[in-house]
Structure 1
Amino acid sequence: MRPRLARTPTHLLLAFLMTPLLLTSVAHAQAAATPLEDNQRITEGYIAIAYELGAVLDPALTPGGSSAVRPTWFTFAPHASRTGGEGMLAAAIAKRIIAAARLQPSLTVPQALQRAGLGLELRASPEQLGLELVLQGLPPDAAASLGALITSMNGAALLDVRTLTATVARLAALYWSAPGFWPLDKAQSVVLTLERALHEGNLAIFNDIGGSGRIYLDWRRAAGEVTPERVLAEFTLVDAVPSEAALAYAYALDHAHDTPRPYLFEQVFPGMHYKSLLVAAFALYEKARLAPTPAERDAWVAMANNYIAWREQHDMAQPVFSPAAPRPDEVSRVELLRLLTPLLRTEFGTVVWNYADFAYSQPDRDGSVLTSPPTEYNWAVFMDRWTGILYAFDQAYLQPTGLWVMPGPIVDPTALASP
C-alpha cells in the first residue's frame, strides 16, 4: 500500500492560492467564444450601429425598417460580416469531415460530403471541386474537406472551365505545400488558415471601426445639437489628428462630385493617420444630414463610406490577409485567397455581389483567352480587393432599400440535411 502524502501547511497555502487561478482559467475557457459565436456578436453589433446611424440621415428609419437614403458603411458591414461567418461555417464543416475521416476513411468524395450532412444541393460545387482534386492525387476525405470550403461561395464561377482548372491547380499546389506529412494534417492546415484569416479580420475590423462607431454615437447622444464643425472640433479618436480630419473633410466637400470618386487616399493624404479619416467620415455623415438636396447628401455619404472602407481594408484587413510572417502551421494566406477570389460573393440584403462579375467588367489583364479574368485577381492584394469593394458600393447605391434586409443568424446546413 502506497503511503499517503501529508498535507503540510505549505500544501494547503498553495492550494488556497491556486484555486482562484484555476477557477478563473476554467471560467475563461468556458467563456471563450468560437469564431462563429464571435461572428454572430459582430454582425448583430453592426446591425445596431447601422440603424442608429441610419436614423441620423433618415429620422423616419426605425429598427427593422428600411430607408431609401444612401446607406452608410455600417449598413454594408453586417452583410460583409455575415459572408465571413459563412466562410467560417464552411471551415467548420471541413473540420468535421477531417475528424470523421480520422476515425474511418471515406471511399469517395460524395460519401465524405454526405457523412458531413451536406444535402445534394449544397454539395454540388464542393463535390465537383473535390473530385477534381482526387485526380490531382488527394485522398477522398482530404479532397472533400477542401471542396467543402466553397460551400457558401459562388459555385457558378466554376462553370467557366478556365476558372475551374486554375482553382483546382492552385488548391492542389497549396495542399502539397502545406505543413504536415499525413494527408488529413495537410488538409487541416489549409482549413485552419482560412478560418483564422476570416476570424482575425472580422475581429480586427469590428474592434476598430465598430468600436469607433459606437464611441461616436455615444458622444453624439450626449453632445446636444451636433454639426460637422462640432464633430471636427470636439470629437476625437485615439491617434486621430484634428487638423488631418479637417483637411480630409474639406477635401471631401471639394471633390465629392468627381468622376471617378476619389479613392487613392494614400496619394491624396500622404502620411495621414487614417484614424483621422474616421473622424472626417462622421463629420461628413452630419453634413449629409443637413444637405440641401438628395444629390449632395448622397455624394457626401459616399465620400464618408470611402474613407471608412479605406481604413478598414488598408489598415485592418491587409495585415491579416497578407501577414509579414506566416504562421508555421498555416499555408500561405495570400495564395489561399488568390485561389478563392473568383468564387467570392456577398449578399448585401437583396443586392448580390460576385467578384467574378467585377472581374469580367474590367479590361482583360493578360489579354489571353486561356485564362479567365477572375483568376487574374487576388483578394489578398489591396488594390484588387479595394477596387472590387468600390464596384460593390456602386451596385448597392442603385438599390439602397435592399441593404436593409439584414442577415439573420447563420444556420448550419448540415443540421438540416439528412446524411
Structure 2
Amino acid sequence: MDTCLPFLRPIATSALLLAVLAMAPPARADESPTPLEDNRRITEGYIQIAYELGGLLDPALQPGGSSSVRPNWFVFAPHASRTGGEGMLAAAIARRMIDTARGEPSLSVRHALDRAGITGGMRLTVEHLAQELVVQGLPIDAAASLASLTTAMNWEALADPRTFATTTSRFASLYWSAPAVLPLDKAESVVLTLERTLHEGNLAIFTDIGGSARLYLGWRRGLTGEVTPERVLTEFSLQDAVPAQARLAYEYGVAHANDTPRPYLLAALFPGMHWKSLLVAAFALYEEARRAPGPAARDALIAMGNNYVAWREQHDMAQPVFTPAVPHADEVSRAALLQALTPMLTTDFGTLEWNYADYAYSQPDRDGSVLTSPPTEYSWAVFWDRWTGILHAFEQAYGAPSALWVMPEPIVDPTAPMSSQPAWSPSGQT
C-alpha cells in the first residue's frame, strides 16, 4: 500500500482544512506544485489505476462502483496516498502556527491552538501533549506546533499513559536535537522533516509503481488477442527487469499462493532479484488470477501479487526515504521522528479502519515489561516493523473487500489557486 505513511485519520480532514484556510497566507507567486498539489494528483492517479486494473479482475466493476473481489495493491494505494496528504496538511497547520508566532507569540497553549482553529475530539489530547512539552522545556508555540502534528492521527492511542509519556519524551528529544538555534526554527525543522518525508515517499512510490502500472495498462490496451500471463512474461518489459527473474517469481507465486503464511520473506526467496522483475511477475499473477477457476484461487493469486508489489514499495522505495544515506542538514532524524509517530499510525481503507496500536497490542510483548506499551516498541522506520504491520493490514482488509472501494476524496491544497491544480491526466508518462 502506497505510503509511505498510511497513518492519518480522514475524519479530521474538514477541521484541518478549515484551520489552514483560517491561517492561509496570500496566494503563492510561484507555480511549482506544493506537496499537497502533488498528493492530490497522485491520489487521483491511483484511483484511475485501481478501477482499470480492478475491472480486469472483476469485469462487473464499473468506475465509481464496488467489488467483492479481493483488492489488488492499487486499490489500497489511494487510501494510503490520501492519508499521507493529511499528514502534509497537518504539517501545513504546524508551519502556519510557527509563522504566526513569529509575528505575535502566543500567551498560552490554549491561545496557540485557538488561533490555529484546532477543535474537535482531538483538541484535549493535543492540548495535553503540548502542555507536557512545555513542562519539558519547550516554548509555548514550539510545543503547540509539534503537538498539532498529531491532529489527524490516532490520538486515542495516547490514552495509554505509557504511550503518552514515551511520545512526549520522543517529541522533546526531536526538538532539542534540531539543528537550528532559535526555538521556532527548531520546531520548524521537525515539521519540515515530516512534510519532506511524506512528500518524497509519495512521489517516489507513485513514479515507480504507479508509472509501471500505467505502462502495463497502456501496453495491455494496445494488444490484440487474448492476454495471458505468458504474454506478460515474454512481451511486457520494464526498465531493468530481467525476464528470467520475473518468470521465476511468477512460477513461485503460482505454486505457493496458498501457503500459510503466504510467502513474504522475499529477499531470502529471491536473492539478487531486481525489484522491477517483481513488478512484472505481479502483473502476470494478476492476469493468472483473472483466469483462475474459482474465487479462492483467484484471491490467493491476487494476494501473492500484492506481496510482490508491496515489497518493492516498502523495501526499495520507502526505506531509502525513511533512512536516507545522507541526511538533510536542516532536518531532524527521520527515523527518530517516525518512531515517535508509530504508536499513532492509522489509516481508513474506505469504511475499514486499521491502526498500528491495535496491531502492536495483538503481538507478543517484545520486552516483557509492563512499564512500556507495545506500540512504543516498534518503529515505522524499521523495515520489518513496517512490513509485518502492512501484511497485517492486508489480511484485515481482505475480510471486507468492498470496504476499500469507498474511495477517498483527494485533498485540495486550500492555499493554492484551483488553476494550479489540474486534474490527473492518464496519458502522462514517467
Q: Secondary structure at the match of 2:388?
A: helix
Structure 1 partner of 2:379: 378
Say if 1:189 and 1:331, in contact at 8 Å, map to a contact too: yes
Structure 1 partner of 2:263: 262
Q: Secondary structure at the match of 1:30?
A: coil
Structure 2 partner of 1:310: 311
The letter for the 2-side match of 1:177 is: S
Structure 2 partner of 1:182: 182
Taking the aligned partners of 2:233 and 2:330, their CA distance within structure 1 comes to 45
Structure 1 partner of 2:243: 242
Structure 2 partner of 1:320: 321
Q: CA deviation at 1:29?
A: 7.5
Q: CA deviation at 1:394?
A: 0.2
Structure 1 partner of 2:197: 197
Deviates more, 1:151-160 or 1:109-118: 109-118
Deviations 1:228-282 (A, max 9, x none): 0000000010000000000000000111111110001000000000100000000
Say if 1:54 and 1:72, in contact at 8 Å, map to a contact too: yes
Q: Secondary structure at the match of 1:353?
A: strand
Say if 2:175 and 2:186, in contact at 8 Å, map to a contact too: yes
Taking the aligned partners of 1:54 and 1:129, their CA distance within structure 2 comes to 42
Q: CA deviation at 1:124?
A: 2.8
Q: CA deviation at 1:180?
A: 1.1
Taking the aligned partners of 1:324 and 1:208, their CA distance within structure 2 comes to 20
Correspondences of 1:205-224 after superposition (within 5 Å):
205-224=205-224
Taking the aligned partners of 2:165 and 2:73, their CA distance within structure 1 comes to 36
Taking the aligned partners of 2:297 and 2:74, their CA distance within structure 1 comes to 20
Taking the aligned partners of 2:120 and 2:112, their CA distance within structure 1 comes to 13
Taking the aligned partners of 2:395 and 2:156, their CA distance within structure 1 comes to 23
Structure 2 partner of 1:92: 92
Correspondences of 1:294-309 after superposition (within 5 Å):
294-309=295-310
The letter for the 1-side match of 2:55 is: A
Deviates more, 1:116-125 or 1:96-105: 116-125
Say if 2:350 and 2:404, in contact at 8 Å, map to a contact too: yes
Taking the aligned partners of 1:168 and 1:30, their CA distance within structure 2 comes to 37
Say if 2:350 and 2:403, in contact at 8 Å, map to a contact too: yes
The letter for the 1-side match of 2:392 is: Y
Matched, 1:389 2:390: yes
Q: CA deviation at 1:385?
A: 0.3
Structure 2 partner of 1:271: 272
Structure 1 partner of 2:102: 102
Say if 2:36 and 2:413, in contact at 8 Å, map to a contact too: no
Deviations 1:199-244 (A, max 9, x none): 0000000000000000000001011221000000000100000000
Correspondences of 1:3-402 after superposition (within 5 Å):
30-224=30-224, 225-402=226-403
The letter for the 1-side match of 2:204 is: A
Q: CA deviation at 1:330?
A: 0.2
Q: Secondary structure at the match of 1:212?
A: helix
Q: CA deviation at 1:120?
A: 3.8
Unaligned runs of 5+ in 1: 1-27, 415-419
Say if 1:345 and 1:353, in contact at 8 Å, map to a contact too: yes
Taking the aligned partners of 1:246 and 1:237, their CA distance within structure 2 comes to 14
Taking the aligned partners of 2:47 and 2:35, their CA distance within structure 1 comes to 18
Taking the aligned partners of 1:211 and 1:148, their CA distance within structure 2 comes to 34
Say if 2:70 and 2:299, in contact at 8 Å, map to a contact too: yes
Is the helix fraction higher in 1 or 2?
1
Taking the aligned partners of 1:324 and 1:29, their CA distance within structure 2 comes to 34
The letter for the 1-side match of 2:152 is: S
Taking the aligned partners of 2:133 and 2:101, their CA distance within structure 1 comes to 17
Q: CA deviation at 1:110?
A: 1.5
Q: Secondary structure at the match of 2:222?
A: helix
Say if 1:255 and 1:261, in contact at 8 Å, map to a contact too: yes
The letter for the 2-side match of 1:172 is: A
Say if 1:118 and 1:413, in contact at 8 Å, map to a contact too: no
Taking the aligned partners of 2:316 and 2:124, their CA distance within structure 1 comes to 37
Of all paired residues, the percent bearing the same amino acid is 72
Q: Secondary structure at the match of 1:223?
A: coil
Q: Secondary structure at the match of 2:365?
A: coil
Q: Secondary structure at the match of 1:31?
A: coil
TM-score by length of 2: 0.88
Say if 2:157 and 2:344, in contact at 8 Å, map to a contact too: yes
The letter for the 1-side match of 2:365 is: D
Say if 1:284 and 1:301, in contact at 8 Å, map to a contact too: yes
Taking the aligned partners of 1:36 and 1:151, their CA distance within structure 2 comes to 17
Deviations 1:293-343 (A, max 9, x none): 100000000000000000000000000001111111000000000010000
Taking the aligned partners of 2:195 and 2:73, their CA distance within structure 1 comes to 24
Q: Which has the higher contact order (CA 8 A, sep 6+)?
A: 2
Say if 1:321 and 1:334, in contact at 8 Å, map to a contact too: yes
TM-score by length of 1: 0.91
The letter for the 1-side match of 2:242 is: V
Q: CA deviation at 1:102?
A: 0.1
Taking the aligned partners of 1:328 and 1:176, their CA distance within structure 2 comes to 15
The letter for the 2-side match of 1:136 is: Q
Q: CA deviation at 1:31?
A: 2.9
Q: What RMSD in Å do the two structures reach over aligned CA positions? A: 1.4
